[in-house]
């Protein structure tokens, strides 16, 4: 899907030749003196367009306008939630007609956040997964012209949103692929493909390399699978060598059976999504390749499968992590924290400004926050503030969670330095407390996206990856460019 930003007001929007003109109307809209305004005014006055947010009026071949079809979209107070609902409803209405060229027009000037929400919602609502379907219905919308009263005023947020959409859709593509089409080797090749872009480099470490580094926790998870592990290292170098990087660590479990502590069969197919954290890191680097900002970013993806076999790690085994800390594995289904802890230790070598890990880590976070907000954990005040700001500006929402030391009590064990689980109560917090042990040498944060990285469901189109939290991550890393400037 291609986006184009135009200066359009209501007088000029009426001359737009397109399959569908989507006109977003806030409740404060006042009609002007032109054919489109006159038509909208009559629709509002007659009640044909209700004043309820997400109400639609579909007009075929409107007289005096150049578009094939005009869809008026009521936004009410034009808050981001109403923009999202309105655009979703409009795309659902027009999608069966398979339009190719759409003009999305704001009747009144939006701010950058409103523009971002409208564009990302349109992309999400029109997205189609096709990779492993023999007769897939491809996305029909190929070109979207975005009309605003002042193009120059919104050029920067427009460019950032286009990059975010590219990154989100790359993340969705890889997270949606079945596990046999998205192995660690496949992810490594996807990262290497990104390295063809300017300023991006990629290195892939194999078993021999991680063994030499002493990544015992990562190797323990991988040893039950015949698929070779991959430790993927991406570098985006947009600033000087002396500028410390921001490091993003994405959990890359390409299929999680639970290992010896095997999961129930119901919905186990969804465990192909256990690499949504890794996919989001790939998505951010896709966006960085588009934007070319003046920052340094490193992406680390420890990737493997978690399967039961005669070689698999067992409950009660004690392993040694890269940090030297020993870990008693009480539950092999708590594997994400094991691959992440070695990556967090590896991140120390970069002397980073900050390290943020992203993982579909715990079912407990789904229970706590559902699919609306990701859980965010950090003991660093500056990082908490920066993530909160990025969450709000991107509308890729998260929620601050506690990290009290008392939550770590359950991780104590007589047989190792730490256990990998601490029981059911506060499960997302105890998982974060485990990771915190390995991230003491830099500002660190953890995003648990178990509830937000994908949508469950049985109906066609209801299940799939969301591409979150690419939007949040992109806004976060770009904030370092702004602060450096």
Task: Tell me whether residue 158 is in a domain.
Answer: no
Please check whether residues 97 and 213 belong to one and the same domain.
Answer: no
Query: In which residue are the tokens 């570098």 written?
Result: 235
Q: How far apart are CA 451 and CA 236, in angstroms?
A: 29
State the CB neighbour count (10 A cutoff) for residue 485: 6
| Residue 212 neighbours by CB under 8 Å, 6+ apart | none
Please check whether residues 79 and 118 belong to one and the same domain.
Answer: yes
> Is 98 one of the annotated active-site residues of the chain?
no
Please check whether residues 36 and 111 belong to one and the same domain.
Answer: yes
Query: What CATH number did the domain enclosing 88 receive?
Result: 3.40.220.10
Q: Give pLDDT < 70 ranges for the chain.
A: 459, 461, 482-485
Please check whether residues 174 and 285 belong to one and the same domain.
Answer: yes
Catalytic residue among 79, 95, 151, 263: 263
pLDDT number for residue 376 = 98
Q: At what angle do helices 427-436 and 336-346 cross, to 10 degrees?
A: 30
pLDDT number for residue 444 = 98
Per the structure, the complete domain to which residue 336 belongs is given by: 166-484
Structural tokens at position 437 = 């042990």
> Is 241 one of the annotated active-site residues of the chain?
no
Task: Tell me whether residue 156 is in a domain.
Answer: no
Query: What CATH number did the domain enclosing 231 receive?
Result: 3.40.630.10
Please check whether residues 251 and 349 belong to one and the same domain.
Answer: yes
- Domain end: 95, 124, 150, which one? 150
DSSP state letters, 220-258:
HHHTT-SSPPEEEEEEEE-S-TTSPPEEEEE-EEEEE--
pLDDT by residue (tens digit) across 273-327? 999 999 999 999 999 999 999 999 999 999 999 999 999 999 999 999 999 999 9
Query: In which residue are the tokens 């660190």 written?
Result: 444
Q: How far apart are CA 463 and CA 293, in angstroms?
A: 34
Please check whether residues 145 and 239 belong to one and the same domain.
Answer: no
- Domain end: 118, 150, 182, which one? 150
Please check whether residues 246 and 382 belong to one and the same domain.
Answer: yes
Please check whether residues 392 and 266 belong to one and the same domain.
Answer: yes
pLDDT by residue (tens digit) across 115-142? 999 999 999 999 999 999 998 788 899 9
Catalytic residue among 145, 230, 272, 337: 337
């Amino acid at each position: 899907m291609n986006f184009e930003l135009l200066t359009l007001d209501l007088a000029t929007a009426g001359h737009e030749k397109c399959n569908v003109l989507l006109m977003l109307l806030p409740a404060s809209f006042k009609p002007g003196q032109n054919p489109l305004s006159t038509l909208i005014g009559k629709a509002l006055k007659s009640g044909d367009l209700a004043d309820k947010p997400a109400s639609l009026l579909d007009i075929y071949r409107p007289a005096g306008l150049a578009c094939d079809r005009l869809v008026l979209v009521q936004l009410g107070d034009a808050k981001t939630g109403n923009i999202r609902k309105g655009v979703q409803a409009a795309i659902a209405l027009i999608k069966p007609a398979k339009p190719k060229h759409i003009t999305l027009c704001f009747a009144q000037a939006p701010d950058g956040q409103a523009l971002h929400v409208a564009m990302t919602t349109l992309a999400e609502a029109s997205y189609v997964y096709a990779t492993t379907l023999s007769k897939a219905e491809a996305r029909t919308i190929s070109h979207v012209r975005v009309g605003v009263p002042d193009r120059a005023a919104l050029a920067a947020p427009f460019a950032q949103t286009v990059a975010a959409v590219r990154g989100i859709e790359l993340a969705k593509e890889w997270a949606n692929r079945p596990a046999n089409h998205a192995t660690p080797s496949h992810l490594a090749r996807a990262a290497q493909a990104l390295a063809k872009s300017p300023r991006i480099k990629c290195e892939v470490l194999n078993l021999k390399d991680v063994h030499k580094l002493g990544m015992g926790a990562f190797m323990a998870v991988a040893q039950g699978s015949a698929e070779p592990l991959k430790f993927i290292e991406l570098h985006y170098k947009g600033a000087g060598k002396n500028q410390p990087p921001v490091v993003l660590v994405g959990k890359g479990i390409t299929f999680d059976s639970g290992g010896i502590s095997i999961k129930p069969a119901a919905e186990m197919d969804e465990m192909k999504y256990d690499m949504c954290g890794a996919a989001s890191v790939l998505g951010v680097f896709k966006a960085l390749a588009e934007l070319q900002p003046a920052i340094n970013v490193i992406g680390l993806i420890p990737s493997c499968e978690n399967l039961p076999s005669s070689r698999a790690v067992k409950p009660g085994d004690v392993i040694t992590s890269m940090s030297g800390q020993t870990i008693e594995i009480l539950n092999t289904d708590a594997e994400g924290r094991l691959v992440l802890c070695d990556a967090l230790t590896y991140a120390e070598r970069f002397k980073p400004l900050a390290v943020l890990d992203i993982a579909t880590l715990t079912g407990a976070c789904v229970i706590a926050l559902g699919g609306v907000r990701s859980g965010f954990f950090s003991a660093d005040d500056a990082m908490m503030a920066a993530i909160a700001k990025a969450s709000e500006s991107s509308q890729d929402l998260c929620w601050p969670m506690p990290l009290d030391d008392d939550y770590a009590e359950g991780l104590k064990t007589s047989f190792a330095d730490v256990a990998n689980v601490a029981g059911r109560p506060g499960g997302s917090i105890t998982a974060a407390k485990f990771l915190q042990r390995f991230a003491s040498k830099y500002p660190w944060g953890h995003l648990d996206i178990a509830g937000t990285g994908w949508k469950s469901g049985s109906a066609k189109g209801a299940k799939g990856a969301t591409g979150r939290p690419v939007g949040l991550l992109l806004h976060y890393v770009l904030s370092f460019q702004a602060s450096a400037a």
